[in-house]
Every structure is written in C-alpha cells, then in structure tokens.
Amino acid sequence: MDAAGAIASHAVGLNWEAIDGPARLAAATFLHDSLCVGIAGAQAPHAEDIWTAVSRWSGQGGACLVLGRVERLAPADAAFVNAFQIHAQEFDCVHEAAVVHPLATILAALLSDLGSGVPRTGPALLTALVAGVDVAVALGLAATTPLRFFRPATAGIFGSVAALANLRGCDVETTRNAIGYALAFASGTMQAHVEGKPALPVQIAQAARSALQAIELAEAGLPGPMAAIDGPFGYLPLFETGFDLTRLFDSLGVGHRISEVSWKPFPTGRAAHGAIVATQELMRSQGLCAANLETLVYEAPPLIHRLVGRPATESMSPTYARLCFPWLGAVVLMRGTVGLEDFREERLTDHALHNLAQRIRVVANADADPAAFVPAFAEARLTDGRVCKVDVVAQFGSPHWPLSPAEHLEKARTCLAFVGMEACHVGLSELIADLPQTCDVGAALNAVLRHPTR
C-alpha cells in the first residue's frame, strides 16, 4: 500500500476497543494538559492581535468553544485561535523523536468539530486524538535528516485530517482526498524559529484551520491528489531532505505514538529542558548560583544547539526568549525555575538577567542523530575555581521520566491560575477522569469552562 493509503486506512480503521490502556491514559492526560495550556494561551503575547485579526475575517459569532474566552467562533476560526493559544507559549506536549507538537493542531481541529451540533462521546474524541497523533508522528519519524520546514505545522495538518476523518466516520476514499488537500495547504517555515517570531504558532494555527477545510472539501466530493505523501511532489519529497517510508509503515503498524509523547514542564522550547533541569541540579547538589557563576556550558546534540543555542539580545521577543537557553539559564539561576510569568517585558529587559546570560552558552557535540536530545552535560566554572558537571541522559517529562500525577495536576492548575480560571481546575480534572463515560464532550467542556475571564 502507498503511504497516503496506509495513513487513510489507519485513520478511519482505528476504534476505541483496539487502543490499549496506556495509550488511553496518555490520550486523556495530554488532552487535559493541552486544554489547560491552551486556556493559559488566551493571555499569551499576541493573543489579542490574533483575536483582532480573526474577528476581521468573519466577525465574531458561532458555536465553537474558544479556550479561555466567553465568545464563540465559527469552526475554522476557532481552530485557528485555539491552535495558536495551545502553542503560543511553548508549553504544549511534544514527540521528541518526530520533532512534532501533535496536539496543538489536532486538538484544535477536534475542538471545532465538537461545536458542530453532533454530540461526540469521550471514547470517540480520545480515539480520534490517538489516530491523529499516530499519523503526525509517523510522518516525523519517517524523516532521516534535520528539519527543513516547521514540522509541527507541516506534519500536524495531516494528523489533524486523520483525527477529523476518524471522528466523523469518513471512508478511506474521502480521507485520501482530504490528505491530498492537506498537501495543497501544508506550509511552515523554520525562518520563524530562527527569528523567534509569533509566525511559529500562527503556522500551527493555519494548519489546524486548513485541516478542517481539507476535510470539508473532501466531504463535499472534491477529488484530491492521491500520492500526497510519497509521490514525486508529495509531502515527504518536498518537505524532508531524506526519508524512509519503512519507518512510516512501521510506526503505523505497531502500538500508538501518543504513549511516546512528552510533557513540557517549562514554557520553553523542549530543546532547553535538559539544560534547565541540569542547571537546577547543579544549583541543588553543587552550590551553583547566580553570584558564583563564571561560565556555564551545555554540550548537547546538534539539534539542541540549533534550536536553543542562540544568544540573548536586548530587544528579543518572548518567542525568541523561549528558544534561548542562555537567557533561560539566567532566569533559572535567579529564580530557580522558568514559568509563564517570566516572559513579560520587565523580565525580558532585566539587565541583570542579560548580564548573566552572557556567561552561558550551548555547544554542539558530535552526535549524528538529527533528532537527538541526549546525551548531554552541563559544566559550570565557579568563581572560586571549582568545576561542576552533571550528565543528562533523559528529558524530564518524557516517557522515561514522566511527570507524576501530582506534577501533572499542578501544571494544569498553574495554567488555569495564569488567566484567573483556577476555579475550573477541579471540574476539568473530574471531566477528564470521566471521559470514557461522557456522552457529549462538547457540552461537558462548555459547562466546566463557563467562567473564562476574557
């Protein structure tokens, strides 16, 4: 079977009974995580600008939930806003090996479908999430060379189409046509990452919106390109320098990729997390602090240097700062951690933080794996002449080092509190726990999140 056919068959063929317990739990867990992160995103930098732009496109009005807001929007507009908010603060979950943030696009697309007036059960929503993550991650895992385009958007649109096809009960032919239109709409440049511009979450937002449009076109009967994944001008030849289709087929054939997704314990680029935790460990066990730091070097695989090794600058944006370990390391040394509140203007322009950041850098090691996050190490030279070092062999939040249930719930509470919605914490947590018995997820979410602050 060709790649598009395999993706379509997997998307529409998956059912709740075929999903194992760990994957079911992971789906509910990361649904909860992503909802809370998206609600916090209602107060992300440029969230109001996004709202203004979307309002100009079609005006306010519609039935679809917008996370953290009273207003409702039409499906495609809600998908755009929700996807932006889920990714805007770099707090959303990630599949490290695929270099994909799957739920930002997939959940945003599915939330819009919940506003269609057709009741969707908890198992149906979770099954669609699992199917979508399987597809987005399989495309990322098929790549054998470093990122050329922004994969969370370019692979994310295909995952979103797969999820929507599963939720709506589409047949294979309709799903293949929708995959063809996903190819027509796919985009996402890494230049936005290099410059640290809000175009990063905007690209994810457009992917979620375009996925909804692709499925609607296919359901209306428009035929799409059939070899959309591995044809001469399909997704993989166009967007990836090197790829291996065997990896894609293998990924779809065994298990579910949602079980391999990682939390983000900090609202920063995932590539900075190992360095953040290593810095915290040096502070805890070896006495490192802002006052006694001479230099701090984080040596890690080339992907880490590429993604978060940039220098701190006086005029950097919040998006840039989230992807700059020298500045993030300075924040950790001053505060002990990095949180949502650390990206306000008064902190981004703090001269003490910038002076400290000049003593911190990221160095690439010789690892040949284009998607590797570890092994790495942090080495600090202190003003008293001591040299302190800590190795990093796993990422906090990964399946190998997961957040505990209590840590997961605390992250959820913190996100809700950031926008004044902490009162929803218990109700939302209970809804997630009850999802397998929930008959209408859209109605239940609207009831639990009925008191947003914006």
Spatial distance between the Cα atoms of 437 and 454, rounded to a whole number of angstroms = 30
Spatial distance between the Cα atoms of 267 and 356, rounded to a whole number of angstroms = 20
| Res 1 pLDDT > 90 | no
196 closest CA partner among 304, 344, 307, 338: 307
| Res 155 pLDDT > 80 | yes
| Res 61 pLDDT > 90 | no
Lookup result for tokens 């992503």: 34
The pLDDT, as a whole number, for residue 255 is 93
Question: What is the mean predicted confidence (pLDDT) over 154-168?
Answer: 98
What's the CATH superfamily of 270-392? Answer: 2-methylcitrate dehydratase PrpD (3.30.1330.120)
pLDDT digits (tens, 9 = 90+) for 73-122: 999 999 999 999 999 999 999 999 999 999 999 999 999 999 888 999 99
Share of the chain above pLDDT 70, in %: 99
- In this structure, the chain runs to a length of 454
| Res 182 pLDDT > 80 | yes
pLDDT digits (tens, 9 = 90+) for 196-215: 999 999 999 999 999 999 99
Contact 93, 50 (CB under 8 A): no
Between 117 and 158, name the one with better pLDDT.
Answer: 158
pLDDT digits (tens, 9 = 90+) for 316-349: 999 999 999 999 999 999 999 999 999 999 999 9
Contacts of 397 (CB under 8 A, 6+ apart): 262, 263, 264, 265, 273, 403
The pLDDT, as a whole number, for residue 450 is 78
| Res 453 pLDDT > 70 | no
Spatial distance between the Cα atoms of 152 and 232, rounded to a whole number of angstroms = 22
Please list the residues that pair with 392 across neighbouring strands. 376
Question: What is the mean predicted confidence (pLDDT) over 270-282?
Answer: 97
Q: Work out the angle at residue 408's Cα, subtended by the Cα atoms of residues 402 and 414, and round it to the nearest 5 degrees.
A: 140
| DSSP-based three-state secondary structure for 40 | helix
The pLDDT, as a whole number, for residue 60 is 66
The pLDDT, as a whole number, for residue 44 is 97
Burial string for 232-267 (b: 16+ CB within 10 Å, else e) reads: eebbbeebbeebeeebbbebbeeebbbbbbbbbbbb
Question: What is the mean predicted confidence (pLDDT) over 23-39?
Answer: 98
pLDDT digits (tens, 9 = 90+) for 379-423: 999 999 999 999 999 999 999 999 999 999 999 999 999 999 999
Between 235 and 451, name the one with better pLDDT.
Answer: 235
The pLDDT, as a whole number, for residue 18 is 96
Spatial distance between the Cα atoms of 280 and 274, rounded to a whole number of angstroms = 10
Per-residue confidence at 454, pLDDT binned at 50, 70, 90? low
The pLDDT, as a whole number, for residue 117 is 86
Question: What is the mean predicted confidence (pLDDT) over 46-73?
Answer: 90
Tell me the CATH class for 3-265+406-448.
mainly alpha
- The reply to whether 3-265+406-448 and 270-392 are identical in fold is no
pTM for the predicted model, two decimal places? 0.96
Q: What residue segments make up the domains of the chain, in order of their start? A: 3-265+406-448, 270-392
| Res 370 pLDDT > 70 | yes
pLDDT digits (tens, 9 = 90+) for 139-153: 999 999 999 999 999
| Res 21 pLDDT > 80 | yes
| Res 181 pLDDT > 70 | yes
Spatial distance between the Cα atoms of 136 and 113, rounded to a whole number of angstroms = 19
